[in-house]
Chains A and B, each alone.
Chain A
Amino acid sequence: MPSQAMFPWLLLTASFLFTLGALGVLIRRNPLVVFMCIELMLNAVNLALVGYSSYLNSEEGQVFAFMVIVVAAAEVVVGLGLLTRVFSIGRELDVDDLDEMKQ
């Protein structure tokens, strides 16, 4: 088991990964990559949760992380299905083109 002093670095990495993911969501144009960045963010959260679980000796963090993984899996299925659909009707896979929600 790592020592208690590593905990801030765990959190730092988690936050770094999270912010990288957020950055990726903002600057990438291919929706698939955006999706992957979202997955990266979820992983970062998982890392934080497991980190806390480890350093507080509580399994609840891991249970929560488990739920997050399940939700991420479900979300990927639906999201990729949607993207496939978008592609199949001939649209470009570019988030700047998919702006039908514009008012």
Chain B
Amino acid sequence: MNASTAALLAGLVLLFPLLGSALCGLLGPVLGRRFVNLAGTLSIGAAFAVTLVIFAQVLGAASGHQSITATLWNWLDLGPGNLNVSVDVTVDQLSVLMLLVITGVGLLIHVYSVGYMEHDPGVARFFSYMNFFIFSMALLVLAANLVILISGWAAVALSSYLLIGFWYERESAVLASRKAMITQVIGDVALVIAAFLIFVNLTKVFPTCSPDVVCGLPAYFTQHLYTLSLPQIFANASSLGAGSPLITLICILLAVGAFAKSAQFPLHTWLPDAMEGPTPVSALIHAATMVTAGVYLIARFHALFDLAPIASGMVACVGMGTAVMAGFIALSQVDIKRVIAYSTMSQIGLMIFAVGIGAYAAGMYQFLLHAFFKALLFLAAGNVIHAVHDEQDIREMGGLDSRMRVTAWCFLVGSLALAGFLFAGMFSKEDLLGFGLINGPGAPALYIVGIVVNILTGLYAFRLYGTAFRGEPRSEAARNAHESKAVMLWPVVILAGLSALAGWILQWPVAFGPHLIDAFLNPVFTSPAGSHIAKEPGLGLGVIGFVIGLTCSLIGIAIALRIWVRRDLDPSRALARPGLRVLPRLSFNKLYFDELYDSLLVRPTRALARGLRRAGDPVMDSWIKGISGVATDFSSAFRSVQTGLIRDYASYMVLFVVVFTVAVMIAAGMAK
């Protein structure tokens, strides 16, 4: 595949969703629901088809030539030696993997949305926003230029804001979208600062110095070139020296940006609230793609992170910490979408952990499989919500397994995949946890936390399944629930199939150890400077790690089954003991983060604003009144000249004519 093919294909992948977005947005209200459904879904279908073509090209390319950077067009050119930004795309394994998920899972979700939004009047707006999201996410993962990356990053945040607040008449939705936007902007600030630092330090193409070419200071300044192209940046990265404070700072800032986007501690509070958006939005944005943008960022910038072990270590700790925190909170949530949201937070924590310790391929593997089963869980939840007439409290559900058989089975598959037994999660999670045995700060420590996460995951996943689907219906709506229509079932079924089989297929050649994704992605993470990939645990250690991890998942599942499915175990008495009583409350209140941020950040800001207004308004007003007062007084003074009498005006005229004439005559040198 050469550069022009890559440019063409990438351009098409970007163009189709953008076109779909424009068509749905502009013509949708005019041409009606069927047009919008068709246009919105076909555009993503077309993008997916092109992605498959790219995928085939990348697979078929000779090794070492699989990564192509092509330029779509030159956006900004301020002359030689100055800023030059062109819309560059990188088509390599990493971006094509992301694109497959974005467009593929995106396509399934769009199809599902046709059914889910069928009674909603704003369907044109919905598909327009969704298509725009696909476009911005594609832009983000294809970007090979720092400016384009940031543009895609920001466009993704915008889409998220628009989609979370889709039902804008609801105050809770508006507040949630605002919260999401503000939190993400904090990350954006960090990202942009990192970009500035990179621009200043890493984008110079250094002139080659030789005995003939003197690299004195003037020559340096006239000869260097600024380029924002990511491959160039990565190539220059080693010039900064491993572990230097500058590169650590850059990586920390990048990581903060990633945390905001991926809802990691401490910028995680927006994700549960983001469930105010329609369920397909949650599935697409807050499960499969946008929240994984942070993972992608760190993976893409691996060349920088490998040189800053402190930053990577921090990333790994934050990731694992968030994973366990989110798992803990998910245990007590009662809104079906919130449980899944915290589950997302937790799983992404694992991904972040993986890329933090250098196991990039493992992290991306988890991303791929997680996209499948998380989207599955969300869409199935959407089916459930639809069936019980928009009731989202799981305490009002129950007994749905007999009434919604297909959805229930798919949900079970998804739960097993999430918990990591038999299906997808088993492979990806154990893989990345295995790396944790020998990589990362304080080597097995994070692994141990990881297996605790496994327990928690099994627990909350099956708590959810048991409470929502098993047992007796606890409300009228649950009793009358029925299965969803085909258009909402097929994507769920397909995703269930993918969740079930993907892990097995990708692991096919070898039972343990490297899998196809590894082989696929590793060339991206290897550079001539040396491999940046985390050390693989040896076969024996790997097997042990796998078994321990799996056992913990099973423990979690088993406990959950006993408590919530078979109902022959009740931990409430155990938890009622004085020391432990605080735990459920902590968990239910999301560890009080929202309240903490509110009192630390929101209230002081509001108080400051109020105080400034009270103190500052009179001062500002007095300035303005003063200025206007001066002008008014001045003009009243002059007004006295305007008597309205012609004779006065004539007098002034004559007077000034005389003065003027005399002055001219004197100036011209007449005797006077």
Q: Which A residues are closer than 8 A to B by beta carbons?
A: 22, 25-27, 31, 34, 95-96, 98-103
State the main secondary structure of chain A at its contact with B.
loop
- Partner of B647 from the list A96, A100, A102, A103 (CB cut-off 8 Å) is A96
Is the beta-carbon distance between A103 and B639 smaller than 8 angstroms? yes
Is the beta-carbon distance between A25 and B644 smaller than 8 angstroms? no
Is the beta-carbon distance between B650 and A26 smaller than 8 angstroms? yes
**Nearest chain B CB to A56 CB, angstrom units:** 19
Asked whether any CB of chain A lies closer than 8 Å to the CB of B572, the reply is no
Asked whether any CB of chain A lies closer than 8 Å to the CB of B78, the reply is no
CB-nearest residue of chain A to B641:
A103
Asked whether any CB of chain A lies closer than 8 Å to the CB of B654, the reply is yes
Q: Which residues of A contact B615 (CB under 8 A)?
A: none
Per-residue interface assignment for chain B, residues 635 to 671, with 1 indicating a CB less than 8 Å from any chain A CB and 0 otherwise? 0000100111111001100100000000000000000
CA distance A102 to B643 in the complex (A): 5
Q: Which residues of B contact A98 (CB under 8 A)?
A: 644, 646
CA distance A22 to B650 in the complex (A): 8
Q: Which 3 A-B pairs have the closest CB atoms?
A: A102-B644, A99-B644, A103-B642
Q: Which residues of A contact B646 (CB under 8 A)?
A: 31, 34, 95, 98
CA distance A100 to B643 in the complex (A): 9
CA distance A22 to B654 in the complex (A): 7
CB-nearest residue of chain B to A98:
B646
- Partner of A26 from the list B639, B642, B651 (CB cut-off 8 Å) is B651
Is the beta-carbon distance between B639 and A96 smaller than 8 angstroms? no
Q: Which residues of A contact B647 (CB under 8 A)?
A: 25-27, 95-96
Is the beta-carbon distance between A101 and B654 smaller than 8 angstroms? no
**Nearest chain B CB to A7 CB, angstrom units:** 17
Q: Which residues of B contact A96 (CB under 8 A)?
A: 645, 647
**Nearest chain A CB to B261 CB, angstrom units:** 64
Is the beta-carbon distance between B643 and A99 smaller than 8 angstroms? yes
Q: Which residues of A contact B639 (CB under 8 A)?
A: 103
- Partner of B642 from the list A27, A34, A95, A101 (CB cut-off 8 Å) is A101
CA distance A27 to B647 in the complex (A): 7
Q: Which residues of B contact A22 (CB under 8 A)?
A: 650, 654
Is the beta-carbon distance between B654 and A26 smaller than 8 angstroms? yes
- Partner of B644 from the list A31, A34, A101 (CB cut-off 8 Å) is A101
CA distance A96 to B645 in the complex (A): 6
CA distance A100 to B642 in the complex (A): 10
CB-nearest residue of chain B to A38:
B650
Q: Which among A96, A98, A100, A103 has the greatest number of chain B C-beta atoms within 10 A?
A: A103
**Nearest chain B CB to A85 CB, angstrom units:** 16
Per-residue interface assignment for chain B, residues 615 to 626, with 1 indicating a CB less than 8 Å from any chain A CB and 0 otherwise? 000000000000
Q: Which residues of B contact A95 (CB under 8 A)?
A: 645-647
Contacts A26-B651, A99-B644, A102-B644 supplied; 5 other A-B pairs, CB < 8 Å: A25-B654, A26-B647, A34-B646, A95-B645, A101-B642
